[in-house]
Amino acid sequence: MRKKYILQNKLLHDIVKTNKHFINKIVRHDIINLLPYQSARLLHNTQCRQILLNANESPKNHVFHLKVNTFNRYPEPQPQKLKFYYMKYININININNILITRGADEGIELIMRTFCIPYHDAIMFCPPTYGMYQINAQILGVKYYTVKCLCNFQLNLKKIIHKINNYNIKIIYICNPNNPTGNLINKNDIIKLLKFVNNNIIIVLDEAYIEFCHTYTLLKLITQYNNVIVLRTLSKAFGLAGLRCGFIIAYHSIIHTLKKVIAPYPIPQPVSDIAVQALHSSYISIVFDNIKNIIANREWLIRKLKYLNIVKHIYPSVTNYILVEFINVQHVFNYLLKHNIIVRQQNQITQLKNCLRITIGTYHECKQIIVVLQQLLIQ
Ligand SMILES: *Cc1c(COP(=O)(O)O)cnc(C)c1O
């Protein structure tokens, strides 16, 4: 019996081995060596007692109920009602042909690249430290990428950006505004200078995933003045619907028309548009904006308290629902928080962010808990 088991096991082992070999022979080389996005949920599998401050989610949950609950038919490819509600919410003078609904802003990032970049020929550009998915999507699609590091105040290095544009085949520039993980806004004048310089030859993507936390600074209006600007939005952050997977692309109508040719036929599941429509009712929007006020108050409270701790070296100013904090002995701080069930996001592996952690602003209780735990660490 035991012998048979060992034999079976060996066979299985051989099959696995040859299969792995076989996969490496047929898969694209870019994928063999790809380090996938280290998403917060992948790194730290949620346990119920944990305080999750690593994915910039909303700490508040709200119970939604489906209005429609039969699913035998395909959904509307681009639910009209949802587009109307989102247009009403953003309140600028555009029409339904300027919006595309996507499976989160992440799908938008990839869709734009797939539509405009020829693999192994065209390139994108972005300015680290910034959101990781621009690079990973480029790697997956075989699109080249060039980077121009932000200045030390995390603003664009326009001189170097323009130098790269002049020398390489750059089709798209991704600008995360406000920037993740640094928490700052990018100077509007720099973005406009860049737009004037690229003169419709390059697409500028403005990723406004966190714009609700500083909504007066949105650059959405630029899409009525420049045909090559694309704005990305999401319901994952301030709207508290990360689990829903719903995002929006807002741009000049012929850009939207072109992206529609590439997007999957039914990208928005019926339950998603059903709930997204409810989330865009004025009653829920006012809840969202109350939550935002609360998060901002908690952020300022947390910053004030952190300043008193001598393990904190620097707190970067933030207009978002997260803060970037430089610590003395960051690894120890990270592990100590983890041991006390507070999960934050490491940034230490990023060259410009040595010794930094990104902390999502949670409820007042969660912010207080951070301070309590860090004070314990100090007196240890
Ligand atoms: C979270 C995030 C996204 C992705 O949002 P989803 O809509 O959940 O896909 C995109 N850009 C930035 C900068 C983000 O932080």
Q: What is the pLDDT of residues 165-184, one digit of tens each?
A: 999 999 999 999 999 999 99
Distance between CA 113 and CA 32 in Å, rounded? 21
> Among the atoms of ligand 1, which is closest to the Cα of residue 236?
8
Task: Identify the residue whose C-alpha is closest to ligand 1 atom 11.
Answer: 209
CATH of 80-281, one of 3.50.50.60, 3.90.180.10, 1.10.3760.10, 3.40.640.10: 3.40.640.10
**What count of other Cβ atoms lies within 10 Å of the Cβ of residue 100?**
23
2-41 pLDDT, tens per residue?
A: 555 555 555 555 555 556 678 888 999 889 888 888 777 7
pTM of this structure: 0.93
Asked if pLDDT for residue 231 goes beyond 70, the answer is yes
Distance between CA 48 and CA 376 in Å, rounded? 23
Q: Domain ranges in the chain?
A: 40-58+284-378, 80-281
Q: Which of 106, 321, 358 to mutate to test the pocket of ligand 1 (most atoms within 8 A of CB)?
A: 106
**Ligand 1 centroid vs 119 CA: distance in angstroms?**
24
59-89 pLDDT, tens per residue?
A: 999 999 999 999 999 999 999 999 999 999 9
Structure tokens at 279: 């989330």
CB of 180 within 6 A of ligand 1: the answer is: yes
CB of 236 within 6 A of ligand 1: the answer is: yes
> Among the atoms of ligand 1, which is closest to the Cα of residue 109?
10
Cα 228 versus chain centre, distance:
21
CATH code given to domain 40-58+284-378: 3.90.1150.10
> Among the atoms of ligand 1, which is closest to the Cα of residue 237?
1
CB of 276 within 6 A of ligand 1: the answer is: no
Mean pLDDT, the chain, rounded, equals 94
Residue 118, pLDDT score: 97
For the purposes of burial, counting CB atoms within 10 Å of the CB of 125, is it exposed (0-12), middle (13-18) or buried (19 or more)? Answer: buried
101-131 pLDDT, tens per residue?
A: 999 999 999 999 999 999 999 999 999 999 9
**Which alpha helices (DSSP H) does the chain contain, by range?**
2-26, 29-32, 40-43, 80-90, 104-116, 133-141, 158-167, 188-198, 253-262, 270-279, 282-306, 330-339, 364-379
Which bin fits 341, alpha (ψ -120 to 50), beta or left (φ > 0)? left
Task: Identify the residue whose C-alpha is closest to ligand 1 atom 2.
Answer: 209
For residue 100, list its beta bridge partners.
249
